[in-house]
Structure 1
Amino acid sequence: MRLTKYLFTFCFLFCLAGSGLTQIGTSIAETYSLQEGLSDRSVRSIIKGRDSLMWIGTANGLNKFDGYNFTVFNSDPDDSLRLLSSNIQSIHQDTRDQLLIFYENITWMFNIFDPLNYELRKVEISPLTGVKGIVRAIEVDEQGDMFVLTFNESEDSTRLYQFNGQNNFLPVFSLYQPHRVEQNYQAVLRHLSNGDFLINDSAIGLQLLDAEGNIKKYFQANDFRSPEDQSAIPYPNRINILHEDRFGQVWVAWENTPGIFDLQYDDFKFKRKKGFDQSGLYTAIWEDQPGNLLIQQSSPAGMMPEVKNVFAYTPIGQILNFSHLLDDPKIITCLFSEDFFKTIFLGTKDGFKVVRNNRFRIKTYLNQESQEVNNNIVLKGITGDDDYVYLAAESQHWYRLDLATDLLDTLTFWDATGRQLDMECGVNLVKDADGFIWGAACESRLNSKLYKYDPDQCTVEDFDIPYPIRAFTIAENGSFWLGCSPSESNGILLSFNPNTGTYNEFYLQDSYNPLQTSIPNYVFQSRDGLIWVGTGNGVYTFNPTNQHFVRYHTDADSPERRISHNSCLLIYEDEAGNIMLGTQNGLNIIDRESGQIKVLRRRDGLSNNTVTGILPDGTGNFWISTNNGISFYDPSDDTFKNFFQADGFSANAFNPFSFYRDEKGRYYFGSVNGLNVFLPKDLLLHEPKPTVLLTKIERYRSRDDSLMVMESNLHQIDQLVIEPYDTYFALHFTFPEFSRPGKNQYRMKLGNSQTWSNLYNDPIIRFHKFPAGNYTLLVEGADANGNWSAKPFVLPIKVKKPFYEKTWVLVLFILIIFSLIYWVFQSRMRQRLRMEQLRTKLASDLHDEVSGLLSGIAMQSDLVQFMVTDSRIQTRLKTIGEVSRKAMSKMSDVIWSIDSRKDQLEDLIGRMHEHADEMLLPLNIRYDIQISHKLDRSQKIPANIRQDLYFIYKEAINNIAKHSNANRVFINMRQSGNYFELSVQDNGTPVQQLAPAHAHENMGDQSGTAKSIGAAAQSIKKKGGQGLSNLKMRAERLKADLNINRKDGYAILLRMKKFM
């Protein structure tokens, strides 16, 4: 049911306009003191050296700061670089960018320190170096030239000297100026850009002199008055400020005298500077590279007066209040900055501060400086038109920002009875086609109201909705889709008609509610008419016409429906029709053509995984708000630049529905602490970023268990050489952006790698047992926003090989190995040759001596046998002859086996033929020897193999001759694969027992020689000796398989690995 009320809107001027509204009370600062390694709390001087690092002078030494660590130099006697004193007064840079170090209460000497190679020398200011008189003032001008002003009381002379950069001073001019030096005496010297000098002497006043010492102007008290200001000032007087800016303007402020003056060159008079509070006491002035001035206004009392205000004076004459730089205690002892609108380095009596000045980059509204979250105004909706931007807070109010006046109004609504309308649980603001502003708020935990605000009539109309509204959107036809939650566990979608004020609950076919288990967080209609609903249980999309329904969630079977997190807080469609889902685990981009989903998370560069808002920039890029910062996303290369509270935003956490871009290109993001407004050009600074610096090299040498650290002369390293025993080395880098060094990012390439390896926030690259070789290391750095350095740092690295891996050592080692092998080979060849010679000699000696002797015995026994008649003696003589002949046969085998001249296979085959002829042919047994063509008859055989093969063969032939009644023997020698085979087989049947008579009968028709051989065979048979065991023993020696078959005659098969 619709309930309509016409209410009046009362507009309060919130009085938040102007510069006061657009500034943060305090800037983000990094503070360093003793705990962080600073040598002393009292900081006296700060400069940036030519090494791009910060050098800080304190009351207890000189500090080098690389963004992470302090390196301290002082007057410690044990320090190899011993300063004259630890109590530093000021630091300057000379013309060669060396550091000039001056000390408290030491005017006759100073140090010159080279920040690159750590060379330190001292220079005297005395007659020995050309200076006469007492030192009253020292000046180092913008170019680094050093001047010394002295006073000689006995001669009443003032002298000026210039340092020549070595060890001497050259006189510039000398003046006769008698005056009395009192206890509170002060002299201040300034060298002007045109070559003139300003000298303020507290005893005689301010003088302007040319380079030759001629007085161009002797200022009097009247020179500090004007027709408009006739107030008198104490003069002569001590001076607080005497400064010439980059544009030639001279600034003066006197001690204990209010006001600040500038020199008018037309009449050489000083006038009070317009725009400044002339009732205040000005105590210090600093200048940055663009020519902006910071001028400090202090209270009049104390040795270290408290700073009341800090003003910036720009080159175009603007005066800006920079007092937001101050913090308790409000005392600034020194200051340095290359640009006051970026990063400022402050010295205080309590330490060293790095302030990031973001005050003028981002405008903030409705933000609270208090850290109590309950006091913050949380914005939950932003929309607008050409004239106004409307804001909805999470509770109580709507706001209207006038873009023309920058005034912020509070919109408070009452009903007809005068009761203020409750705007709790504000959700979203949307402007319809007719210019009406729509928003929602909860009336209770069970229902809510939808508000329609008329900006022209300043009236509001409300509509009762029975459920709390969590999100809503306006469809193409002007109707509304409301995402509601009837309970804390389920949701429902309502279709609302703004013309009639009626609504309908949306169900799919069969009265199915797709959101029955999901609470809606965001409702969106894409250009193709689909309704997208982001919930805590996935993303639902459907066509209201045909009710086609699809769900995206983490457990989807199809990768085209699988997203990174079920809780979706945002839905956006880009120009290409791709859908971007902001979830609590990254940005999911759905390619509508391919269906693929790309997920971008923090590890990919996004500032935080919880995405709450997306705005295009009109060039294809996007600004993305998250729960921790805002990211600028470039889809062309998937890179991000991130911005946080430290960059000037009022908070890090940003809210859903709270993002808007106006017609002038300004971006509005609502946070948990008010509104933030900026132009992209103020955040996306396209100035080149510096190159990464190498600050330290550490090596661990395992050979002597030592750690070597190198911090100086790093600029001279053309190639880093790593010795073989440097088992570990580390390279320390810094990116010279000091506002948030802990957030600086690094990446590296090594060798021929085509991709960068992300080091994130770690400035140290460590290498352990790095392989020998030549490498090229490239390192890039970026600030906390992701602005990468213009060019990489390049360092060639050579890792030396160990001594034993060098080429000449390896060649020598190989030569030694080859020499040893050759020597061993030659030794074996000589030994083998000696063995063959010995075998040949033994064979020859045995043949000539023993065989001849046995032959003689056999012949003598035969002769004697015919000479005696006694039968018994004849039998014995016959036995002697047979034994001699048998011994001759055995000896012949032995001589053949050891003779090195018989090592060829052909010799073995020949010997086999001889023995077969000797044993088989007399028994009428024919034999056939077949030799495979794969065997090379001319190849040599090892002596042991030749011997064992022959004796196995011989034993086999002997067994056939003794035990078989065969008449044919087949002998085969061949190679089968990787094996050598020797087979001997007959065609007979084994004889079980041969009687002597039978044997005699068989041999009856044989010749005498045959008879004797047969008799020898029978005698051998009768012995029944060691034949079988010898066969097995020789086969084992050859590592061969030996098979003996007696079933059908006699057969043996020898099988062994081939040896030729």
Structure 2
Amino acid sequence: MKALIKLFSPVILLIFCPLILSGQELGDTFKSLNVSDGLPQSYVSGIIQDRKDFVWLATRDGLSRYDGKKFKVFREGENSSYTLSSNIITNLFLDRSGRLWVCYEQGDWDVVDTDTEKITRLTADKNFQLLRDKSKSGRSIIQISDSVYWILGRDGVVYTVNFLQKKVTAFRSDQLLKGLSPTFITGITWANQNIILITSHALVYMRPDGKILKTVNLTFNKSGLFNPKRSWKDNSPLVRKNGQLIIPDEEQLILYDSLKNDFTVIDLPKQQHYIVPPLVMDKSENIFLGYANMIFRLDSANRLSRFTAETTPDTKNISMLLDKSDVLWAGTNGYGVRQYDLYLTQIPKLSYTASFHEQILEKLKISAEEIKHTFLHGISTYFFRWTTGNDGKIWMTKAGADSVEKPNLIYFQNGKLQRPKWRYGTESQHPHVGINALAVSKSGKLWGIDNALRPVFFDTRTYTAHTFEAIRHRYDKNKLNEVNGFVIDDEHIFWISSSLGLIRYDQNNKSVIHYFNNLPIRQLMAVCQDPLDRDVLWLGTYSDGLIRFNKKNNVCSYYTKKTGLPNNTVYSILPDKNGLLWCSSNKGVFSINPQTGKIRSYVTKGEIPVDEFNRFHYFSLPDNQMAFGGTEGYTVFNPESLVDDTYEPHIALTNVKINNRNSSLNDPDSPLTGAINDVEAIVLPYDKNFLAFEFSALQFNIPEKLQYRYMLKGLDEGWVTAGTDNVATYTTIPPGSYTLKINASNTAGVWSGYVKSLRIIITPPFWKTLWFITLCLLLAGGLVYYLIKRRIRNIRTKDLEKIAFERESMELEAQAMRSQMNPHFIFNCLNSIKALIQEDDKKNAVTYLTTFAKLIRNQLYNSQREITLHDEITTCQLYLQLETLRFADRITYGFLIDPGVDLHRIMVPPLILQPFIENAIIHGILPRPGKGKIIVSVTKQQDDVICSIDDDGIGRHKANKDRELRKPHHISKGTLLVETRLNMHNALNRNNFSINIIDKTDDSQNPSGTSVILTFNPTL
């Protein structure tokens, strides 16, 4: 029995195939791309989507790349760097490295790098010429490794190509299949790291090294494939995850189940045509194939159905692609490309046969005859008002300024239209005009606001209408104020929206509060109570977006195009059962989650999209469906049936204009180093800073629904929302380093996680560059340094001249002082000699004179500015000898010299010690009774030399008193001259000589002498 079923299964399928094919035509609605859209030619022989999501299309007039907005066309000879071998292309193949293999009708091959757009003329290279005019239209090609390919040629020959080694090898079928016969290779594919060859009578599984793993003979009602030797014949299969092969063969599909090792044949309607490869497969493993002028679908359960309606007989689908966003592309033989959205459920487009509200009443199964007997027949939908009561009744009325004798109010419930007989209450002094808004309170009470802004209560038990005094508002009476909705709180608080603003009206105390009438909100168009938060109202506006209004604290949140709305005009707001708010606009329908603010946008599906909707053209049906009416049609849908778009499109940079000029690699002045979308950074001079960037999101379902935002980091503080505009323009960008970031949303308004980045460097003019500024600073610094140096040199020269002059003056002054000291000393010595001669002490006089002569000779020899300390000590010794001779035994003296002091190397001014020794003798020792003593010592303390003259005389205090008695106002010139000379010596020689005079006392604090200490740094 099983064998019989297997035997007759093709016959059964053939019998029931028309029944299968008569199912729902899911793909009847499509979008077309043709020459008017920028396609170079309408014969589309190949379609490929590359790694960055661009779509490439092969035509008979060049290759084009599509980004959802426009086509970029490559042709033969149009530029030297990026030129094709021919314009007539038969097919395309994209390898794993992003290389696009282009096969031409005359047999040539090119390879296009889809990242850089660089074109390599493959068969122009002698190493690849073996491929010319040998392949089967370029369709049957597989990639084995990064650089190794197998290409199926005519007559069953297989060509192996090593792209990097530039090597092509041809294998005949008998060489490759090792004697299997009769055989002819007609298809090839790659699956699970193995090669599968389709031959005229078998399937061959082979390893890349050529070893045959398995051979499966074709075992079905025909002994082999149709016409295997035809040059156009291509049986390259698709392979499902379970290993099942789907092999196209003219008017049939051959299914091979590798697990069961059996074949199934599915026949297509006889069209005297053949299945055109390639076959494409979606994520659910449904397979789409082009056949004649239709597209068929083979689902995962191998049920065949017609996907598209039959078109004109001469229209044939000759290429196919299923892109990453689940759009099916079908290239035709002269009618461009057709796009079918397999995933996104768009809201349907319905055409008007009557007014919107009458079309909706028909959806409620209300006949046209019933409608004719109501006030709704023939009125404009702009006057149609409705609301749904707590009991499910849908109340409908008519708006307008016309007075009515009785209320126009009917309702629909349980499939029937009811027309109650209404009357006015006796207290109603003013029968109302048309009801502009209806609302139901929480307890179920039905209220209306008429055209004159009067509240009207409708008693639905007695069908009595009670009209109240008009609300006293502050609106300008000369302006049209159209009420478009209201909401009831606490049974007596009315929130009324109108074209002039929002009113809070308390029915109990008649108080009125106005909102928005003083704000720049152009018009309110709709009001809706938040489904979950009773403190929140949602307001639609004419051109200011959607407003979330908190009734308690009057805080507003605004939703506009900048925050994701498709359009800033919101005509209506309808809540669904899940708490979402659905709104109509001038750019389709969108939903918003009132809790999260998440926005989803939808457009109608049809030949003429109903993007622009109208005021008051909305309705909620009892079966959870919603209806919105527009200018060219209307839509009815169930919100739960719509699929959210979760696709995240990549962003492509498609053009850069620099100073209003397009950048091109052909332009020698272009800053581009490669294809614009492949460039990571551009460097521009300061005078080319007027930039416009064109970009596109690579999602092809509904490109017009995609939103864009961009930011020039370093200049913009945040994202700039551009809506559907895909151009970012910046003028006079200052020099600096920036990063352009571009982001896009999908069709639902959800921002993609992919962000396109481009570094932009604007170089400053040379006079603003760091090196120039540094050079200028260095030059300025050098000039300033030179001027300062020159000034200092001049000042120093003048100072040196002045110092030299002052030094010379000081030298002369010092000589003058020395000349003053010498006479003073000589005068004293001569007086002493005179005294000895007078006393007739010849011996001592001779000794004195001899010693004086030595002293004079020593002084004459030491007339220079400085002498050694040894010479100064010698002079002092001679002087003390003279004074000892002069005053006999009144004076004793001693010299204590530190052995560590080299007196011959220490230079001092001449006669620097003698005046202090003289003062010690004259004013210290001689006035005292008895003998006195003078000790001259020279010691060293670190780097200083200490010379001290110590006496045991009467001390300076008593000596001064005595001198004052003898010679009033006398000033000791010797000590003064020494101090003056030391100061000059310090100034001339930059030394630091100092004098310190110490008055000595005994244990009883009585004066006991004087100690003079001279401290100086010796000049070595």
**TM-score after normalising by structure 2:** 0.62
1:1018: which partner in 2?
none
1:399-798 maps to which residues of 2 (within 5 A)? 399-400=363-364, 409-411=365-367, 414=370, 423-425=377-379, 427-440=384-397, 447=404, 449-455=408-414, 461=420, 463=422, 467-485=433-451, 490=452, 492-507=454-469, 518-527=481-490, 529-552=492-515, 554-555=517-518, 562=519, 564-576=521-533, 577-585=535-543, 586-616=545-575, 622-633=581-592, 640-645=599-604, 651-654=610-613, 669=628, 671=630, 673-679=633-639, 682-687=642-647, 689-697=648-656, 707-708=669-670, 710=672, 712=674, 719-723=681-685, 726-741=688-703, 743-751=705-713, 755-798=718-761
Q: CA deviation at 1:653?
A: 3.6
Q: Distance in 2 between matches of 1:66 and 1:310?
A: 25
Report % sequence identity. 17
2:318: which partner in 1?
333
Matching residue within 108, 133, 151 for 1:148: 151
- From the superposition, tell whether residues 459 and 634 of structure 1 become closer, same or farther in structure 2 (CA, over 3 Å): closer
1:286-325 maps to which residues of 2 (within 5 A)? 286-290=279-283, 291-298=285-292, 307=293, 309-317=294-302, 321-323=306-308
Amino acid at match of 1:345: W
Task: Map Cα deviations across residues 277-313 of structure 1 (whole Å, 9 max, x no partner).
Answer: 5789553353144133222342xxxxxxxx1x32333
Task: Map Cα deviations across residues 573-627 of structure 1 (whole Å, 9 max, x no partner).
Answer: 4533122222323333322222234444445543333323324468876332224
Task: Map Cα deviations across residues 926-957 of structure 1 (whole Å, 9 max, x no partner).
Answer: xxxxxxxxxxxxxxxxxxxxxxxxxxxxxxxx
Matching residue within 165, 185, 188 for 2:186: 188
Q: CA deviation at 1:89?
A: 0.9
| SS of residue in 2 equivalent to 1:223 | coil
Task: Map Cα deviations across residues 43-89 of structure 1 (whole Å, 9 max, x no partner).
Answer: 22111122321222121222223334433333317522333222111
Q: Distance in 1 between matches of 2:114 and 2:340?
A: 26
1:164 aligns with 2:148: no
Task: Map Cα deviations across residues 685-739 of structure 1 (whole Å, 9 max, x no partner).
Answer: 234x13423344555699xx97415272667755544445644455443321234
2:116: which partner in 1?
117
Q: Distance in 2 between matches of 1:334 and 1:709?
A: 37
Amino acid at match of 1:819: G
1:348 aligns with 2:332: yes
1:209 aligns with 2:204: yes
Amino acid at match of 2:174: L
Amino acid at match of 1:209: V
Paired residues of 1:563 and 1:588 also in contact (CA < 8 A): no
1:355-374 maps to which residues of 2 (within 5 A)? 355=339, 357=341, 361-362=345-346, 364=348, 367-368=350-351
- From the superposition, tell whether residues 481 and 282 of structure 1 become closer, same or farther in structure 2 (CA, over 3 Å): farther
- From the superposition, tell whether residues 664 and 103 of structure 1 become closer, same or farther in structure 2 (CA, over 3 Å): same
Amino acid at match of 2:275: T
1:1001: which partner in 2?
none
Q: Distance in 1 between matches of 2:731 and 2:475?
A: 61
Q: Distance in 2 between matches of 1:434 and 1:288?
A: 50
Q: CA deviation at 1:483?
A: 3.2
Q: CA deviation at 1:507?
A: 0.8
CA RMSD of aligned residues (A): 5.0
Paired residues of 1:54 and 1:66 also in contact (CA < 8 A): yes
Q: CA deviation at 1:319?
A: 5.2
Task: Map Cα deviations across residues 631-686 of structure 1 (whole Å, 9 max, x no partner).
Answer: 23356775644322369996224455665778997655455634331446844223
Paired residues of 1:45 and 1:56 also in contact (CA < 8 A): yes
Q: Distance in 2 between matches of 1:551 and 1:23?
A: 55
Paired residues of 2:315 and 2:334 also in contact (CA < 8 A): no
2:238: which partner in 1?
244
Paired residues of 1:606 and 1:640 also in contact (CA < 8 A): yes
| SS of residue in 1 equivalent to 2:504 | strand
1:29 aligns with 2:27: no
Q: Distance in 2 between matches of 1:498 and 1:421?
A: 19
Paired residues of 1:190 and 1:197 also in contact (CA < 8 A): yes
Paired residues of 2:385 and 2:399 also in contact (CA < 8 A): no
| SS of residue in 1 equivalent to 2:174 | strand
1:852: which partner in 2?
none
Paired residues of 2:143 and 2:149 also in contact (CA < 8 A): no
Bigger shift: residues 124-133 or 446-455: 124-133
Listed as ranges, the gaps of 5+ residues in structure 1 are 1-18, 153-157, 179-184, 226-231, 299-306, 369-374, 381-391, 401-408, 556-561, 842-1060
Task: Map Cα deviations across residues 981-1029 of structure 1 (whole Å, 9 max, x no partner).
Answer: xxxxxxxxxxxxxxxxxxxxxxxxxxxxxxxxxxxxxxxxxxxxxxxxx
- From the superposition, tell whether residues 351 and 767 of structure 1 become closer, same or farther in structure 2 (CA, over 3 Å): farther
**TM-score after normalising by structure 1:** 0.60
Q: Distance in 2 between matches of 1:479 and 1:735?
A: 51
Q: Distance in 2 between matches of 1:649 and 1:249?
A: 41
1:1041: which partner in 2?
none
| SS of residue in 2 equivalent to 1:810 | helix
Paired residues of 1:63 and 1:73 also in contact (CA < 8 A): yes
Q: Distance in 1 between matches of 2:472 and 2:729?
A: 65
- From the superposition, tell whether residues 758 and 637 of structure 1 become closer, same or farther in structure 2 (CA, over 3 Å): farther
Paired residues of 1:614 and 1:622 also in contact (CA < 8 A): yes
- From the superposition, tell whether residues 707 and 745 of structure 1 become closer, same or farther in structure 2 (CA, over 3 Å): farther
Q: CA deviation at 1:103?
A: 0.8
Paired residues of 2:290 and 2:319 also in contact (CA < 8 A): no
Q: Distance in 1 between matches of 2:764 and 2:79?
A: 37
Q: Distance in 2 between matches of 1:21 and 1:191?
A: 32
- From the superposition, tell whether residues 379 and 318 of structure 1 become closer, same or farther in structure 2 (CA, over 3 Å): farther
Amino acid at match of 1:216: T
| SS of residue in 2 equivalent to 1:273 | strand
Q: CA deviation at 1:506?
A: 1.4
Structure having the higher Rg: 2
Q: CA deviation at 1:100?
A: 1.1
1:602-1001 maps to which residues of 2 (within 5 A)? 602-616=561-575, 622-633=581-592, 640-645=599-604, 651-654=610-613, 669=628, 671=630, 673-679=633-639, 682-687=642-647, 689-697=648-656, 707-708=669-670, 710=672, 712=674, 719-723=681-685, 726-741=688-703, 743-751=705-713, 755-825=718-788
Amino acid at match of 1:273: I
Paired residues of 1:311 and 1:319 also in contact (CA < 8 A): yes
Paired residues of 2:683 and 2:763 also in contact (CA < 8 A): yes
Amino acid at match of 1:572: Q
